[in-house]
Chain A
Amino acid sequence: MPQVIELKSVCRSFGKKPDLADRIATAFGVKSTAKLLRAVDGVDLAIEQGEVLGLVGESGCGKSTLGRLVAGILPHDSGAVLFNGKPMVDKTSQKTGKGLGVQMIFQNPAAALDPRQRILDAITEAPIAHGLIQRSQARSFAIEALDRVGLRADALDCYPHQFSGGQRQRICIARALAVNPEVVVCDESVASLDVSIQAQIINLFLDLRESLNLSYLFISHDISVVEHVSDRIAVMYLGQIVEIARASDLLENPLHPYTQALLSEVPTLDQTLSEEHALEGELPSPLSPPSGCRFHPRCPIAMEQCQSLAPRLESQGSGHRVSCLAIRKEI
């Protein structure tokens, strides 16, 4: 299958580079060197056309940053982000038109809509600005867009505050689809919704994927949701991908100790949490990640080398890749 999105050794950090004042202060020993937060550190990832790639991880793992890199709203520091084989046009550098192929649905639908904009304008603003439709066609276009997400036409003249969370998220989806993207990045798109509404939106995503042949990058901290919708799942920890596999493979046979812990810690209706702590300690600060394998301080099978040697993602067969020295040794 052709790869619609490809990330090669992509890095993105946050933090100030030390300026002259900082350097002087450090020289005098007054201030320590400015810390750099490596939100995404050397990620290789590919999304195949028509697939749903799930991305799970806990807070601080960098999945939201990765989502924004894929959507093109954050420029990457190094590496390559390719869309259909060509370098992704960074949207912040204002090259219009070409970058519409990847769109994003955000976590908070209330904040994702301009409170002062009518729904009609919210949906048709970008298509008109990019010449995809004529102004005269705006209303009929918008009615179709809303229909696709299950909303009635009378929503067009209303404002965001008149809708519920689930409806707002539908509007956001309609807005994103209005520019005919090929890839949709869903960043915790159902996290803020109630369970029963969440189910409706998940169904909507699945339906749209069928009818519009979309590819998704589905980011969530909620593993049960990701499990349900994804074809493949990638697990992220402190800026790196530690495991990636077909969803069924990952669930039945998780190889990385972090993935195993994550899966066993999910509270479900049929599984009682065992009394054993699967995972000790807290998530380390992304500002000072552990040396070598970042997971080694909390890892139940950590070996000596894990402190100094950083593992790479290696294939274990049938598309299942794990980044772990201990596993490699076993196999």
Chain B
Amino acid sequence: MKHTKLLSIQGLRTEFPTPDGPLAAVSGVDLEVTRGDVLGIVGESGSGKTVLGLSIMGLVDRPGRVTAGRIAFDGTDVTNYSEAQWQGLRGNRIAMIFQDPTTSLNPVQRIGLQMIEAIQAHRDVSTDAARQTVREAMVRVGINSPDERLEAYPHQFSGGMRQRVVIATALLNEPDLIIADEPTTALDVTVQAQILRDMRRLCRDTGTALIWVSHDLGVVAQIALRLAVMYAGRIVEQGVTEVMLKSPSHPYTAGLMASMPANAPRGQRLISIPGGLPQLSNLPKGCSFAPRCAHVTTACDVLPELSPTSPDHAVRCVSPLQERG
């Protein structure tokens, strides 16, 4: 039976032990992804966006671990999955794409072989059938003449090509969900644009859900239908991308947008968010953004809940921007 909610996360908390006590990299996160949905997760350093992606896949590096909350994938509770159970899911129904394609590919193995292995790990098909699937996948991501490419080693490809190979590999077993963590950050603008287009088209054509994690609002805006902004391990705003970008409710989201040079008149000072990024070991009581917020009041001493302002929109702020007169 297919659940409409492909991924359902409630109250997720991932902690890392430190000499001064456990540090919550992700705290109180609720998320939902439906089939074919494209969700963007935006945040800067320390926001917890990468750890969130890893937590969903059960890839958090020990000694860090998920300490609270529930992750349900297609109706099944995977929160406490064993490594063996995860291996059945990863690369099969959930795939992950990382920032650096160089480390995702085995440098001493030919591309074709790696991709065929990825198929045969989860399906019982002949090598020839697998090779055919691989060829089709390569063409789909824009790698023409796949036969030559199959015999090549990763180092013989450019960065953009390698990332395409990684994406093709992710798509091989027709996953229901792809989690992409800064997949284009290390690539040039023109290559990034090509990959953004290709991912958009692919997800539309195959109905694969996509979670795109990035620090770059501009990039995420190109592909995500819904957006979640993270700060200091929590989601501070989430909703429909278009709506959020036109009228952001959380001061951090607004500040982030104002910080982008593209949004400011040329040559003038940017409206920057004062202060430094949050230190997870030293978070203030109450709202984590309060020390940097221009609209801070005494009510901000209490940590606000992520409360919905409309069916599709939620903000974690006692006086969101859009509510003021």
Contact = CB atoms under 8 A, between A and B. Distances in A.
A and B: direct contact (Cβ < 8 Å)? yes
Contact of B270 (A202, A266, A272): A202
B193 A269 contact: no
Interface of B is mostly: helix
A231 B67 CA distance: 52
A269 B158 contact: no
A261 B261 CA distance: 20
Contacts of B245: 269
B272 A200 contact: yes
Given A199-B272, A265-B190, A273-B196, A282 B158 contact: yes
A225 B261 contact: yes
Contacts of B45: 165, 194
B262 A268 contact: yes
B193 A283 contact: no
A282 B277 contact: no
Interface string A258-291: 0001100111110011010111001100000000
Contacts of A200: 272, 274
A224 B261 contact: yes
A269 B257 contact: yes
A58 B188 contact: yes
Nearest to B160: A282
Given A197-B277, A228-B266, A269-B245, A223 B256 contact: no
Contacts, number: 122
Interface in A217-242: 221, 223-225, 227-229
Contact of B222 (A58, A228, A272): A272
Nearest to A60: B188
Contacts of B158: 282-283
Interface string A153-178: 00000000000111100000000000
A267 B192 contact: yes
Chain A contact residues: helix, strand, loop or mixed: helix
Contacts of A272: 222
Contacts of A269: 217-218, 221, 245, 257, 260, 262-263
B215 A194 contact: yes
Contact of A203 (B215, B216, B217, B272): B272
B259 to A, nearest CB: 4
Nearest to A167: B276
Contacts of B269: 203, 206-207
A164 B190 contact: no
A196 B255 contact: yes
A165 B219 CA distance: 23
Contacts of B272: 196, 199-200, 202-203
A247 interface: yes
Interface in B196-249: 196-197, 201, 215-219, 221-222, 245
B194 interface: yes
B200 to A, nearest CB: 8
B260 A203 contact: no
A45 B161 CA distance: 33
B44 A194 contact: yes
A59 interface: yes
Interface of A: 58-59, 164-167, 194-200, 202-203, 206-207, 221, 223-225, 227-229, 247-248, 261-262, 265-269, 272-273, 275, 277-279, 282-283
16 contacts: A196-B272, A198-B259, A199-B272, A199-B273, A206-B269, A207-B269, A221-B188, A224-B262, A247-B266, A248-B266, A266-B218, A266-B262, A269-B257, A272-B222, A279-B194, A282-B161
Given A196-B44, A202-B270, A283-B188, 6 more contacts: A164-B277, A196-B272, A199-B272, A273-B196, A275-B197, A282-B160
